[in-house]
């Protein structure tokens, strides 16, 4: 998106063999195996590790967190208060922002929400928003809505991929070559989403506009309704949201032993998703006029 | 009023002699609408029926009554046919000699096509076919009508202006009439079923039945009124009622789980297909 020069980004990971690591290096991102180094050379710190690892990372880098740092956690189910609590033993007023994004940030069509912590200023939130808006839609929300966002746009791309796979199957069944079917299906969803985003109209109205009386589309829609299409989607969003809450609850209660963590690191655990691991930690150049405090 | 726009229609309405062959519930609903609108005086309206059972109510309204179908045709310009479907052919044969080019014949009879009507009446007859629905009796009906070969703009405008007093009245191609049956003719029953179920849900939750029934009906009435008056898409109105995480969205989820939408579409389809089949018999 061009909002940030690659050399101003630092990423760290204990495992240098991950495919994402070479990808980052090729982009010109500074790479290190030391989380502490990453923290020291950054102002905005994205924590993109798996949720159970967060407490250990915080323990490790806590002493190096200074007042200037903005700690942004993308870890699902990890609350702002749990991060603030961990960091407060090292830094009295840690700036914490929690965000939830999704995989299409890769193609700069992400959907991101963020909630600001106790000591994060309005400008800190706006800075994050500026960054994330460069890779899609970004808006601030109350933290208690983040689980719902996970259910909808966090998991959403998976629902879309499933739908597209099935639509392509339908096309193939009716005689289209697979590649063409996939291409057309994806374009149809892309186009429809674009229409909706650019229109003032309700999706129900847009649907009606496609359905000529007695025509092909209304016949097809009847099938969708008969199969409970709408309720399936509602169920999916609900299930994802509820599961997110469950996992958060479990995380609050469970403790993973340090020995177990070391083992998993040694076993080269993959980070949560390829796109999020793009920045295990990043320094962000302040392209606003705010000067760095050291 | 109408005088400026359609002077001929306005004059015809007040000088119009209206007849009903058959005096059952549907006809009764239409005549009440006509009288309510004050367009045709009761004394200009005549109805025929084999027995006095239905005719008493018409006399109480101030209309003329008879047991003779021919008399209705002789005394009227606008003749509504409102018999049961299996009776109609016999009635048409009976009145045929008396039907002239000045008559406007409007059939309310379910399943009898314009083609059939034109076949059984003299070739110069102005024929129209109308499909009303039950709430015409309370002047909140939904009616569609189509015209035969000899019926022109004047006749259509006259019918529309007279019957708008009974509710919504629109001209359509004849092929929509069976669909109207599935949607609105039978549709009234779907609404009664829904109202009953709503009330039953409330009773389950502890409300007395009579109160629940009245509230259910008022809810349907109010929602329909908002739809008609705002002109907004129902999906938008639905969204307006759904506060995030609130009661309504929880309930709607249940309805979607039950595939209510598809079931309703199935119902409209079934009734429409049945109407088509019956018309062929």
> Is it the case that residue B228 has pLDDT exceeding 80?
yes
Binding-site sequence positions of B: 69, 82-85
Nearest CB to B235; choose among A204, A231, A234: A204
Q: Taking residues B87-115, report their average pLDDT.
A: 95
Mean pLDDT score of chain B, rounded to an integer? 92
Distance CA A207, CA A211 (A): 7
Residue from B208, B171, B159 nearest B30 by CA: B159
Distance CA B191, CA B178 (A): 19
| Residues in chain A within 8 Å Cβ distance of B243 | none
| pLDDT for res B126 | 97
How large is the C-alpha radius of gyration of chain A? 22
Q: What would the pLDDT profile of B161-195 be if each residue is shown by its tens digit?
A: 999 988 999 999 999 999 999 999 999 999 999 99
Q: Do B236 and A202 touch (CB under 8 A)?
A: yes
Residue at token pair 């019957």: B163
| pLDDT for res A131 | 93
Judged by average pLDDT, the poorest of A31-35, A96-100, B167-171, B243-247 is A31-35
Residue from A98, A208, A104, A188 nearest A146 by CA: A98
∠B235-B274-B125 over CA atoms, to 5°? 100
Q: What percent of chain A has pLDDT above 90?
A: 55
pLDDT confidence band for A254 (50 / 70 / 90)? low
| pLDDT for res B73 | 96
| Residues in chain B within 8 Å Cβ distance of A206 | none
The set of residues, in sequence order, having a beta carbon less than 8 Å from that of B136 and lying 6+ positions away, is B26, B29, B30, B33, B143, B166, B167
Tell me whether strands A30-32 and A95-100 are parallel, antiparallel or unpaired: unpaired
| pLDDT for res A261 | 54
Nearest CB to A222; choose among B235, B236, B262: B262
Q: Do B265 and A204 touch (CB under 8 A)?
A: no
Q: What would the pLDDT profile of B34-77 be if each residue is shown by its tens digit?
A: 888 788 999 999 999 998 899 999 999 999 999 999 999 999 99
Q: Count the neighbouring beta carbons within 10 Å of the beta carbon of residue A92.
A: 9
Is A50 within any annotated ligand binding site?
Answer: yes
pLDDT confidence band for A119 (50 / 70 / 90)? very high
Phi, psi dihedrals of residue B12, rounded to the nearest 5° = -65, -40
CB contact, 8 Å: B97 with chain A? no
Is A76 within any annotated ligand binding site?
Answer: yes
Q: Could you tell me the domains of chain A? A: 6-141 (3.40.50.720), 150-246 (1.10.3730.10)
| Residues in chain B within 8 Å Cβ distance of A204 | 233-236
Q: Could you tell me the domains of chain B? A: 18-174 (3.40.50.720), 186-279 (1.10.3730.10)
CB distance B151 to B143 below 8 Å: no
| pLDDT for res A7 | 78
Distance CA A64, CA A47 (A): 14
Q: Do A202 and B233 touch (CB under 8 A)?
A: yes
When scoring A202, A209, A236, A245 by the number of chain B Cβ atoms within 10 A, the one with the most, hence best to mutate, is: A202
Q: What is the DSSP-derived secondary structure letter of residue A281?
A: S
Is A211 within any annotated ligand binding site?
Answer: no
Residue from B65, B111, B84 nearest B26 by CA: B84
Q: What would the pLDDT profile of B242-265 be if each residue is shown by its tens digit?
A: 999 999 999 999 999 999 999 999
Q: What would the pLDDT profile of A147-189 be if each residue is shown by its tens digit?
A: 999 999 999 999 999 999 999 999 999 999 999 999 999 999 9
């Amino acid at each position: 998106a061009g909002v940030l020069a690659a050399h101003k980004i630092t990423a760290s990971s204990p495992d240098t063999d991950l495919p994402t690591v070479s990808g980052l290096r090729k982009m010109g991102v500074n790479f290190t195996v030391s989380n502490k180094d990453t923290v020291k050379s950054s102002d905005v710190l994205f924590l993109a590790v798996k949720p159970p690892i967060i407490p250990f990372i915080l323990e490790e880098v806590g002493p190096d967190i200074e007042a200037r740092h903005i700690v942004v956690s993308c870890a699902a189910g990890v609350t702002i208060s749990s991060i603030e609590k961990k960091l407060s033993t090292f830094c009295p007023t840690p700036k914490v922002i929690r965000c939830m994004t999704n995989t299409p940030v890769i193609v700069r069509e992400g959907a991101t929400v963020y909630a600001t912590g106790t000591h994060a200023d309005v400008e800190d939130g706006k800075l994050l928003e500026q960054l994330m808006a460069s890779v899609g839609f970004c808006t601030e929300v109350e933290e208690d809505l983040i689980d719902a966002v996970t259910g909808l746009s966090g998991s959403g791309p998976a629902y879309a991929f499933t739908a597209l796979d099935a639509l392509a199957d339908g096309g193939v069944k009716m005689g289209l070559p697979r590649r063409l079917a996939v291409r057309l299906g994806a374009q149809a969803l892309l186009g429809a989403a674009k229409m909706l985003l650019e229109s003032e109209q309700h999706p129900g109205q847009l649907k009606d506009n496609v359905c000529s009386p007695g025509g092909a589309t209304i016949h097809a829609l009847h099938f969708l309704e008969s199969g409970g299409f709408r309720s399936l989607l509602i169920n999916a969003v609900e299930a994802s949201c509820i599961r997110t809450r469950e996992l958060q609850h479990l995380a609050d209660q469970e403790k993973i032993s340090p020995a177990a963590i070391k083992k998993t690191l040694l076993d080269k655990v993959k980070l949560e998703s390829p796109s999020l691991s793009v920045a295990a930690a990043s320094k962000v150049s302040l392209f606003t006029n705010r000067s760095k405090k050291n | 009023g109408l005088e400026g726009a359609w002077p001929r229609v306005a004059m015809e309405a007040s000088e119009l002699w209206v007849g009903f062959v058959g005096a059952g519930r549907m006809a009764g609903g239409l005549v009440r609408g006509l009288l309510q609108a004050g367009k045709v005086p009761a004394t200009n309206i005549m109805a025929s029926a084999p027995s006095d059972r239905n005719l008493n109510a018409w006399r109480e309204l101030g209309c003329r009554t008879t047991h003779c179908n021919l008399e209705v045709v002789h005394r009227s310009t606008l003749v509504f046919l409102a018999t049961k479907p299996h009776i109609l052919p016999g009635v048409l044969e009976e009145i045929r000699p008396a039907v002239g080019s000045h008559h406007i014949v409007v059939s309310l009879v379910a399943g009898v096509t314009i083609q059939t009507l034109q076949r059984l009446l003299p070739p110069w007859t102005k024929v129209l076919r109308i499909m009303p629905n039950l709430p015409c009796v309370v002047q909140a009906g939904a009616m569609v009508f189509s015209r035969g070969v000899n019926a022109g703009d004047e006749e259509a405008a006259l019918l529309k202006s007279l019957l708008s007093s009974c509710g919504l009245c629109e001209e359509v191609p004849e092929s929509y009439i069976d669909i109207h049956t599935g949607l609105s003719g039978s549709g009234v029953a779907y609404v009664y079923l829904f109202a009953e179920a709503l009330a039953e849900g409330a009773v389950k939750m502890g409300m007395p039945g009579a109160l629940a029934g009245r509230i259910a009906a008022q809810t349907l009435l109010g929602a329909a009124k908002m739809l008609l008056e705002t002109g907004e898409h129902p999906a938008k109105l639905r969204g307006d009622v759904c506060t995030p995480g609130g009661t309504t969205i929880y309930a709607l989820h249940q309805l979607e789980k039950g595939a209510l939408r598809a079931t309703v579409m199935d119902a409209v389809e079934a009734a429409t297909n049945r109407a088509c089949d019956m018309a062929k018999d």
